[in-house]
Homo-oligomer: A and B are copies of this chain.
Amino acid sequence: MEDFQSALTEREGIEQPLQVNPNLVRRKRRVLSLDDYVSGILKGDRVILSRAITLIESANPEHFDMAQSIIERCLPHSGNSLRIGITGVPGVGKSTFIEAFGKLLTGLGHKVAVLAIDPSSERTKGSILGDKTRMESLSVDPDAFIRPSPSGSTLGGVARKTRESIVLCEAAGFDVIIVETVGVGQSETVVKSMVDFFLLLMLAGAGDELQGIKRGIMEMADGLVINKADGDNKPKAVGAQAQYRMALKLFPKNESCWDVPVEVCSALEGFAIDKVWNMIQRYEALTKGNGYFEKNRTEQNVNIFYNWINFTLQNNFYNDEEKALAIERLLPLIREKKISPYMAASSLI
């Protein structure tokens, strides 16, 4: 609700009038300066953090410059977190897992931010994390921050916004960043490109353990966890664990020199969630020791560099008023086949 109001206010550029009732004043938005944003974020103010992320997600070009300035100021304070990607097919119990996992971490004194990448959220109105009630207990935890997936027409755009949100969350003192995504295709690659550890949640007994379609995702995983190991399902989960362990032996060795472990857990019953955290800590220790952790982040930064060039090129182009008018003129001609899309594009550049 807070986010929604904030988004509305900022989208429409409406400033709230000053209120005399001090109880009301606290609920109203005032326009924040760059310094307000940065100092608020660095103090860990979650409302200001949330508003800054809204700026990042905004399609308004005026918000863009402010957002970039905030990111630039926050960058020196970012990077000090463990970034964990979590994926799995719908029904695997991601929300329940993240809720249990997040509570474990805040209980250990960590500050946990949960972000999401769901490229389908625009089209299907499906709401990965759109509803905070999915994580009832974590969403009211003062040491947790949950943010739904930004919407956007391209996966690249959604990814960029999430990448920038990570910077702000880290500057705000969150030391574990979880990036959630659904197990359908390219979004895993994108999440993998922005995290230190990539966790794949699976189900036992789906009978498709070694299906080719999942292999691409399995190859990316730094850890596999078979969820819903509870009740009658537990023996099946343990059986699947053995199968996956065998399967992983067939894969080429990771560059990180890490043997990808397979664990079973029950997020519902809170069983063995700590084993997952243990697994991730062992990974962190190994890869920080052998230099892979740093190397991976460096390569990710190089990718950000190229992504950012490409994004800026497009952003400058499409925000140019003259180009926008030309595109409006060309689109009907393309639709009526009076010009080829190649010719039309070439005529613009």
Q: Which residues of A contact B (CB under 8 A)?
A: 68, 71-72, 75, 89-91, 120, 155, 183-186, 188-189, 206-208, 211-216, 298, 301-302, 304-306, 308-310, 312-314, 316-317, 330-331, 334-335, 337, 340-346, 348-349
Contact = CB atoms under 8 A, between A and B. Distances in A.
Contacts of A188: 185
A215 B120 CA distance: 12
A56 B68 CA distance: 38
A71 B343 CA distance: 10
A189 to B, nearest CB: 7
18 contacts: A75-B340, A89-B213, A90-B215, A91-B212, A120-B216, A184-B213, A184-B216, A185-B186, A185-B188, A208-B211, A211-B211, A302-B334, A304-B341, A304-B345, A305-B330, A305-B345, A308-B346, A309-B348
Nearest to A312: B349
A342 B344 CA distance: 31
Contacts of A340: 72, 75, 301
B185 A212 contact: no
Contact of A305 (B91, B207, B212, B344): B344
B183 A212 contact: yes
A90 B212 contact: yes
A313 B215 CA distance: 34
Nearest to A295: B335
A66 to B, nearest CB: 14
B309 A349 contact: yes
Nearest to A340: B75
Contacts of A302: 331, 334-335, 341
Contacts of A305: 330-331, 334, 341, 344-345
A346 B315 CA distance: 12
A185 B216 contact: yes
A346 B208 contact: no
Contacts of A72: 340, 342-343
Contacts of A317: 309, 313
A11 to B, nearest CB: 24
